[in-house]
Structure 1
């Protein structure tokens, strides 16, 4: 007998809802899902009233906010973006509403008597509230097991919205994520499962939400499965708690300035220069005969250095690439000449194998469906050893991914390659050590991830860090490609033994990335 799940939402096509539906059907394949989506038809009078209200609350910032949104929507996509080779999981998630086990019914009021009658007739086992309005008891009490809600916040301390903003504002050490029963009061129901995400030195609410979404989806599925089997007990919330509401644009700006500092006139000028340079480059179709391979290392809000990019900034960059460029899998560049487009073709890579690649980069990449190759130092990740460059810079090591996590990423369509075994400088070791590093790294990837055609990226990546003799060793041992990191762009027919990559770090906001893609030089960028 099928397990019937009713999902209440205002955004059936949002990434979080689609990912949750996909995860539910993967874990509980005999389920049937009824999605009840509230879709309101807003009159011109209602829209005008809302605009006036927001002007009173936010002042002149509301005009700027609306203008930026309109400009973003107007320039959202280029034709090239449609030819991006999306990850298979992206297509599966986007198509989930067309799955035969999913039915979508739209209405103007989820709490209406018609919707309650519809729900009762369907006889659901469980209700799930995802980005839903406040539900009334006559609706959320219909499912046999009740209705659960995913709340991105610790309860009862942080009821209400928006996720992560008030925790970061209040300098809380972490941000909770809670699955709880829906009750009459806002976020007051008994707690079923909870977790937390650490607030780092440079954390932003949007960056934290990347991790909250990933954790929350898994927690919802875990709770649904446990409730079905009768193995989970809820507990009442302890204490009075506090309910928060949406901040003003002024409060959002104040938090941004606290995290990043007040934007200087020089920074404003740089953004304007990069933006105009990028616009001109786009109009002139600069880079249409080139392939730009981007190189990242860490996606983290704990540091700002030359190998780290912030989570929100990384998400914004991937959103831009998804909308405006053709993004290809690195291994597809080895198949021959790439077709000319309106701008540069882009490939994405990571080096080393840090844990944040799994926790923050992978959820963003899979959400946008962008193919990416991760080059890992196999002995370091296998034994959870620190990288020497981290010990030199910070005095401590940073966690790396496990093979289980990498297999999970691989199952989602992400790719892997070799970055030596112990992150050695290949130009500074003897022949025997170089041979061992190459052999061990390749063999470990074949054993753990089943690779049959392994690409190599040499450590440190500068011209002086690799030699012709080492390249001959790479070829002789059966690697299929070799990547550098000293900058430059590639022709449409990529030299597989010298795939040039451009490093990206926290200095690069979207305007800077856009400028780099159409030719702005590294030496003048930061």
Structure 2
């Protein structure tokens, strides 16, 4: 039912002018991506990857309507224009340095790259990548193996069924190395944490949630010493309570954190919601943002445009 309503809203929003929809007071626009590739990688099944031309079209639309700001501006919340935006990229994939950064530099767009330390230099692999590629290789796997708690079993089963699978992915050099991250930092981009190895936080215990945040933030601070300490929850912040947010803020592990609930306010200070810009099927930024703004207005009529969570 809920998805049907969203589909109706999405279809209706496409006919409305964006200049009309964006009038009014909204949260700061926080679009995010993962990668930009010439074609869809075999190991990514959860979203449609955009190519460079599609990505640049998105950026041109964003720049037409919004003013890019840096992470420090977002953290300090001082003199931020109404049409401000901050763009970010998750998972630390190699295309961030090869394809994305040159485009951002050419267009003068600041950005933050959220990194999983365990994946740097391709030392480990995201469990969903293994699962999605195994499916592409026609391996029969239980859907339960798709989740983080079953990561060890997934790796064991895929290795037994087809030992080349893991090496196949590793040989593509999916992730950036430390030298590439350092280069991004020298170029003026900010580096944040995205957990150690990308678990679904709704599938792990509070103690493990805390460890994932703490260790990944300590890694970022050790290697980059950022002036704005930022953490983006992997997948979503669903399953994350205010108690954890309070703890990591109080302990000064982070200055600012992010969820992925779309264009929404949040009831916790300095915890902001981002907009996923990669969907199951290709959608230009204009269609995504039309839907987000229209849906924000509709939720506002019911006082439901603020993300809330349990204490």
| TM-score of the aligned structures, taking structure 1 as reference length | 0.42
Does structure 1 residue 299 correspond to structure 2 residue 36?
yes
Cα 1:287–1:408 shift into 2, 3 Å: farther
**Where does residue 470 of structure 1 map in the other structure?**
244
Structure 2: runs of 5 or more not aligned: 1-9, 135-164, 299-311
For the 8 Å contact 1:298–1:308, the answer to whether it is kept is yes
Match of 1:290 in 2: 27
**Residues 146-183 of structure 1: CA deviation (Å, up to 9, x unaligned):** xxxxxxxxxxxxxxxxxxxxxxxxxxxxxxxxxxxxxx
In 2 relative to 1, CA 453–339 (structure 1 residues): closer, same or farther, beyond 3 Å?
closer
Output the aligned Cα RMSD.
3.1
Q: Which residue of 1 aligns with 2:18?
A: 278
Taking structure 2 as the reference length, the TM-score comes to 0.69
What is the deviation of 1:280? 3.2
Tell me the matched-pair count.
Answer: 246
**Aligned residue in 2 for 1:406:** 181
SS in 1 for 2:30: strand
CA offsets per residue over residues 64-106 of structure 1, 9 Å max, x none? Answer: xxxxxxxxxxxxxxxxxxxxxxxxxxxxxxxxxxxxxxxxxxx
**Paired residues of 2:193 and 2:230 also in contact (CA < 8 A):** yes
SS at match of 1:439: helix
Distance in 2, matches of 1:444 and 1:323, equals: 36
Offset of residue 353 of structure 1: 0.9
Task: Quote how far apart the aligned CAs of 1:328 are.
Answer: 1.2
Query: Cα offset for 1:490?
Result: 4.2
Q: Report the CA distance between 1:309 and its aligned residue.
A: 2.3
Asked if the contact 2:201/2:238 (under 8 Å) is kept, the reply is no
SS at match of 1:292: coil
Distance 1:448-1:383 versus aligned 2 partners, 3 A rule: farther
Residues 329-354 of structure 1, C-alpha deviations (whole Å, 9 max, x = no match): 2331221355554xx42211111111
Distance 1:391 1:407 in 2: 27
Contact kept? 2:69, 2:86, Cα under 8 Å? yes
Say if 1:297 and 1:307, in contact at 8 Å, map to a contact too: no
Q: How does 1:489-508 map to 2 (within 5 A)?
A: 489-490=264-265, 496-505=269-278, 507-508=282-283
Question: Larger RCO: Structure 1 or Structure 2 (Cα < 8 Å, ≥ 6 residues apart)?
Answer: 2
1:302 Cα deviation after fit: 2.3
Partner of 1:454: 229
CA distance in 2 between partners of 1:318 and 1:275 (Å): 21
Structure with a larger share of its residues in strand:
1
Question: Would you say 1:323 and 2:98 are equivalent positions?
Answer: no
Query: Would the aligned equivalents of 1:307 and 1:504 in 2 still touch at CA under 8 Å?
Result: no
Residue pairs, 1:86-101, within 5 angstroms: none
Structure 2 CA distance for partners of 1:335 and 1:477, relative to 1, 3 Å:
closer
**Is 2:85 the partner of 1:346?**
yes
Measured in 2, the distance between the counterparts of 1:361 and 1:442 equals 23
Quote the residue 1:415 is aligned against.
190
The match for 1:355 is: 94
Q: Which runs of 5 or more residues in structure 1 are unaligned?
A: 1-269
State the structure with more CA Rg: 1
For 1:450 and 1:467, locate their aligned partners in 2 and report how far apart those are by CA, in whole Å. 27
Between the aligned partners of 2:211 and 2:187, the Cα distance in structure 1 is 31
